[in-house]
C-alpha cells in the first residue's frame, strides 16, 4: 500500500511521512483521508476504491436489517475490519434523540466486531432533506449527550466558526465543517470561514483536528482543504460517483499527500504584481520605461 | 397476555381435555422491524435472528428502544407488544 510514499520519501530530506498520520481522540490513522462506503455500484468496486484511496478509516451507516429479502451480502463481507477502523455515522437523523439512538446502535455493532471504532461516531443531525444542512441546535444537543455517554464525537457541522467553537467546547473530538452541501461536489465554497475555524479552534490547541467533511467534487478540492490547514478530509460521493471510482480514489490519495505537504512546506504569499524569477542583475536588454 | 390477537374463534375450537389452552396462551404478537409478527411464547431474540437468517455478528438489537446485549440474545424472551428492531451496517458517508 502507498508504494509512492515509500519511493518518494527517499529523495525528500524531511520527516513529512510522519506528518501524514491523523490523530483524532484516541485514534491515530495512517492516512488523512477518511472515505465513505455509500453509493457504490457494487461492493467489489467499493472495496477496490477503498484500497486505492490509501485510507485506513471508513464511514458506515446504521440501517434496519432487511428481512427475508436479504441477498446474503453484507457490506462487512467486503470491508476488512481488521484493516480499517470503522466510523459509524448517524446519517439520516433529523433530531438529537434519533442521533443518540443510532450512535449507540452503531457502537453495539462495532463492539461485536471488536473494531477500534466502537468508541467514536460521526455525528450528523440534519435539519432539512433538500439541503441536508446540519441542524445546529440539535447537533449541539446530541454532541453533549454522546460525549457524556463516553463517545468520541466527530461532529459534522456547517462552516460557521461560532458553531464550530460551540461544538469544540461541548467536547467534540473533531469538528468537521462542510466545504459545501453533502454530495454536491461544489468544493470549498467559503475558504475564509474555514480559515477562521482553523484559527479559532487551534489557537490554544494546535493539534485539535479539524476535518473537512462533505462537498468535495474532485482532487483539487482535497488539496485546497489541506493547503488551508485542515487536518483531514472526509469524502464519499466524489469517489463513488466518479466515472472511474478507483482512479478517482487514487487521485484523492495523491491530492491529500500533495495538499498536506504544500501546507507544511509553507506557500508564498499572494502578491498583486509579478516578481521575476530570473535575475535583473546583468540583463543585456532594454526596458520599456 | 395476548387476547384474541389472531382473530381465532375460540368457541369453535375443539376441546381437547381439561388442560386445553387457548392458542393465544401459546402465541404472542410482537413488532419485528416494523412488521407485526406472531411468535410462540418463549421465543428469544436468538430464535428471531436465526429464523430470519441474520448474521448475529453484524447486527445490533433493540427491544422497546433498549439495546439487548449480544450475550443476552439466547436468554432474552420477547413479550407481547415488544417492538424489536434489528440493525446492521450499510454503506454510508
Task: Express the helix, strand and coil content of chain A in percent, nearest 5 each.
Answer: 40, 15, 45
| Complex ipTM value | 0.86
Contact B89 A61 (CB under 8 A): yes
Which residue among A70, A75, A91 places its CB closest to the CB of B93?
Answer: A91
pLDDT higher than 50, residue B81 = yes
> Worst-scoring range by mean pLDDT, A12-16, A177-181, A232-236?
A12-16
What is d(CA A172, CA A145) in angstroms, rounded to the nearest whole number?
A: 11
- Check pLDDT > 70 for residue B17: no
Q: Does B31 touch chain A (CB under 8 A)?
A: no
What would you report as the CA-atom Rg of chain B, rounded to the nearest whole angstrom?
16
Q: For the segment A20-46, what is each residue's pLDDT rounded down to a tens digit? A: 899 999 999 999 999 999 999 999 999
Between positions 110 and 129 of A, the ones with CB within 8 A of B are 111-113
- Interface membership of A106 toward B (CB under 8 Å): yes
Burial group, residue B52, by CB count within 10 angstroms (0-12, 13-18, 19+)? middle
In whole angstroms, give the CA distance from residue B52 to residue B50. 5
Distance in Å, alpha carbon of A280 to nearest chain B alpha carbon: 53
Query: Is the pLDDT reported for residue A10 higher than 50?
Result: no
pLDDT value of residue A135: 98
Residue A275: how many CB atoms within 10 A of its CB? 6
Mutate which of A43, A49, A50, A65 to disrupt the B interface (most B C-beta within 10 Å)? A65
Element (H, E) at A113: helix A96-113
Q: Which residue has the cell 420477547?
A: B78
Question: With bands split at pLDDT 50, 70 and 90, how would you rate the model's confidence at A9?
Answer: very low
Question: Residue A86 in 3-state DSSP?
Answer: strand
Q: Locate cell 450512535: which residue?
A: A103
Q: Is residue A71 predicted with pLDDT exceeding 80?
A: no
Residue of A nearest to B61 (CA): A105
d(CA A187, CA A181): 9
Interface check B58 vs A, CB under 8 A = yes
Spatial separation of the C-alpha atoms in residues A77 and A220, rounded to whole Å = 32
Contact B89 A235 (CB under 8 A): no
Instruction: Calculate how close chain B gets to A77, using CA atoms only, in Å.
Output: 10
Residue A77 — pLDDT band, cuts 50, 70, 90? confident
By CB neighbour count within 10 A (0-12 exposed, 13-18 middle, 19+ buried), where does B13 fall?
Answer: exposed
pLDDT for A69: 46
Rounded to whole angstroms, the Cα distance separating A96 from A99 reads 5
Is the per-residue pLDDT at A252 higher than 80?
yes
* Residue B53 in contact with partner chain A when CB distance is under 8 A: yes
What is the average pLDDT across A227-246? 98
Q: Chain A: nearest CA to B24, how far in angstroms?
A: 25
- pLDDT at residue A45 in the model: 95
What pLDDT, in 10s, does the model give residues B25-76? 799 999 999 999 999 999 999 999 999 889 898 999 999 999 999 999 999 9
Nearest by CB to B65, from A64, A101, A237: name it.
Answer: A101
* Chain B residues with CB-CB distance to A86 below 8 A: 89
> A64 — contact with chain B (CB < 8 Å)?
yes
CB atoms within 10 A of CB A231: 21
Q: To the nearest whole number, what is the mean pLDDT of chain A? A: 92
Q: Which of B55, B56, B90 is closest, CB to CB, to A61?
A: B90
Q: Give the pLDDT score at A19.
A: 85
Q: Which residue from A36, A43, A65 is facing B33, i.e. has the nearest CB?
A: A65
CATH says B15-88 is which class?
alpha beta
Distance CA B93, CA B72 (A): 31
Q: Identify whether the C-beta of residue A18 lies closer than 8 Å to the C-beta of residue A47.
A: no
Domain boundaries, chain B: 15-88
| B66 inside 8 A of chain A by CB | no
Across the range A189-197, mean pLDDT stands at 97
According to the model, what pLDDT value does residue A7 have? 45
Kindly list the structural domains of chain A, giving each domain's residue range(s) and its CATH number in brackets, ordered by start.
20-265 (3.20.20.70)
Amino acid at each position: 500500500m502507498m508504494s509512492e510514499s515509500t519511493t518518494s520519501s527517499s529523495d525528500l530530506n524531511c520527516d513529512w511521512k510522519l506528518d501524514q498520520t491523523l490523530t483524532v481522540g484516541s485514534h491515530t490513522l495512517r492516512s488523512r483521508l477518511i472515505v465513505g462506503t455509500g453509493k457504490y455500484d457494487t461492493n467489489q468496486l467499493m472495496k477496490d476504491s477503498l484500497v486505492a484511496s490509501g485510507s485506513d478509516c471508513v464511514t458506515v451507516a446504521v440501517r434496519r436489517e432487511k428481512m427475508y429479502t436479504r441477498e446474503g451480502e453484507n457490506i462487512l463481507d467486503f470491508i476488512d475490519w481488521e484493516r480499517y477502523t470503522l466510523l459509524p455515522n448517524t446519517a439520516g437523523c433529523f433530531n438529537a434523540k434519533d442521533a443518540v439512538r443510532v450512535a449507540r446502535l452503531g457502537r453495539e455493532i462495532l463492539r461485536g466486531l471488536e473494531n477500534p471504532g466502537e468508541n467514536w461516531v460521526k455525528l450528523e443531525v440534519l435539519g432539512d432533506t433538500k439541503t441536508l444542512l446540519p441542524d445546529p441546535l440539535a447537533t449541539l444537543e446530541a454532541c453533549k449527550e454522546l460525549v457524556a455517554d463516553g463517545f468520541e464525537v466527530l461532529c459534522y457541522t456547517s462552516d460557521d466558526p461560532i458553531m464550530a467553537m460551540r461544538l469544540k467546547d461541548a467536547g467534540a473530538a473533531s469538528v468537521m465543517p462542510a466545504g459545501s452541501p453533502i454530495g454536491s461536489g461544489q468544493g470549498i465554497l467559503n475558504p475564509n470561514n474555514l480559515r477562521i475555524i482553523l484559527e479559532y479552534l487551534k489557537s490554544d490547541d494546535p493539534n485539535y483536528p479539524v476535518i473537512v467533511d462533505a462537498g468535495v467534487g474532485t482532487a483539487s478540492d482535497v488539496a485546497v482543504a489541506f493547503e488551508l490547514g485542515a487536518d483531514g478530509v472526509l469524502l464519499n460521493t466524489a469517489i463513488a460517483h466518479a466515472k472511474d471510482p478507483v482512479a478517482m480514489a487514487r487521485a484523492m490519495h495523491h491530492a491529500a499527500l500533495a495538499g498536506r505537504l504544500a501546507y507544511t512546506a509553507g506557500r508564498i504569499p499572494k502578491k498583486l504584481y509579478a516578481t521575476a524569477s530570473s535575475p535583473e542583475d546583468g540583463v543585456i536588454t532594454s526596458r520599456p520605461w | 397476555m395476548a387476547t384474541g390477537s389472531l382473530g381465532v374463534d375460540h368457541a369453535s375450537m375443539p376441546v381437547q381435555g381439561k388442560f386445553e389452552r387457548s392458542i393465544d396462551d401459546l402465541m404472542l404478537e410482537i413488532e419485528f422491524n416494523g412488521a407485526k409478527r406472531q411468535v410462540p411464547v418463549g421465543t428469544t431474540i436468538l430464535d428471531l435472528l436465526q429464523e430470519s437468517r441474520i448474521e448475529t455478528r453484524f447486527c445490533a438489537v433493540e427491544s422497546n428502544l433498549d439495546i439487548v446485549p449480544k450475550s443476552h440474545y439466547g436468554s432474552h424472551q420477547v413479550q407481547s407488544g415488544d417492538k424489536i428492531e434489528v440493525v446492521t451496517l450499510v454503506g454510508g458517508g
